[in-house]
Amino acid sequence: QPHYCGKIDIYIEDIRQNIEADILKLPEGSGLDVMYIFNVGGGANAARIHNLETAVEVLSSYAFDGDKDQLQKLKELGGEFTRLADKALGNKKDKQELMREVLVDTMTHALEYWESVTGETKFAFAEQSGLWRVYLDRSTLQTRTLDKYMRIETLPKTPRWRTVLSSIEFILEHCKEQSPERAYIEAQRDKMQRLLTS
């Protein structure tokens, strides 16, 4: 159940107390399982609880998707929530940096997925997809450009987003094995597309 509102028993210094509480189930991946809101001062302020629920929802959405429009909802609540939204905006990595991190993470996971499902190397992927050049350097295969997309430090200043998305689509098309890794790659691809169009 995502939200419980009612009485719960808690122990304070070995004394059992029955109090009103809200228990909110937080989104998976937030690093937290639940949030407890205790009402110890008489009648619960429904508007306050609603504002807190909205704040949790908005901040979770912003943390996972980088959707700045969500923060506008938080600002509209006023008071401390406006300050919270401003703080989130100030501390958040800029969009370009976030996009670069998502790109490298997605490419790395996609290639690992390709190798584990097909048993083939990144060289086979580069040749079969036709999206990346494979060089023969002193009898050793090299994928210099593709390799640059595997680390933030070596990622070009203006990455070839279309090539990256095409690479991910190629891998997903040719590797049908359903797994948590595949679901993660699909989610990261969707996040990248949202970041590119927002």
Q: Which helix (H) or strand (E) holds 195?
A: helix 180-197
Q: Note the pLDDT tens digit of each residue in 102-141.
A: 999 999 999 999 999 999 999 999 999 999 999 988 888 8
| Cβ-proximal residues to 164 (8 Å cutoff; 6+ apart), any chain | 103, 106, 107, 149, 192
CA 104 – CA 152 distance, rounded (Å): 6
Cβ contact 175:117 at 8 Å: yes
> Which of 64 and 194 is assigned the larger pLDDT?
194
* Rounded Cα–Cα distance for residues 11 and 17 (Å): 6
Does 30 score more than 70 pLDDT? no
Q: What is the distance between the alpha carbons of residues 34 and 32, in angstroms, rounded to a whole number?
A: 6
The token pair at 79 is: 């008071």
User: What's the confidence (pLDDT) of residue 114?
Assistant: 95
Percent of the chain residues past pLDDT 90, beyond the cut: 38
Determine the pLDDT at residue 147.
94
Domain boundaries, the chain: 3-91, 95-197
CA angle 90, 92, 94 (to 5 degrees): 100
Q: What is the pLDDT of residues 4-20, one digit of tens each?
A: 888 888 887 888 888 88
The whole-number pLDDT of residue 63 equals: 58
Of the two residues 28 and 134, the one the predictor is more confident about is 134
Give the span between the Cα atoms of 58 and 61, in whole angstroms.
Answer: 5
**DSSP string of 60-102, one letter each residue:** HHHHHH--HHHHHHHHHT-THHHHHHHHHHHHSPPHHHHHHHH
36 to each of 93, 131, 164, how far by Cα in Å? 29, 50, 42
Model pLDDT for residues 50-94, shown as the tens digit of each residue:
777 777 676 666 655 666 676 677 677 666 667 766 766 665 557
First and final CA of the chain: distance in angstroms? 33
pLDDT band at 43 (very low <50, low <70, confident <90, very high): low
> Which has the closest alpha carbon to 114: 193, 177, 187?
177
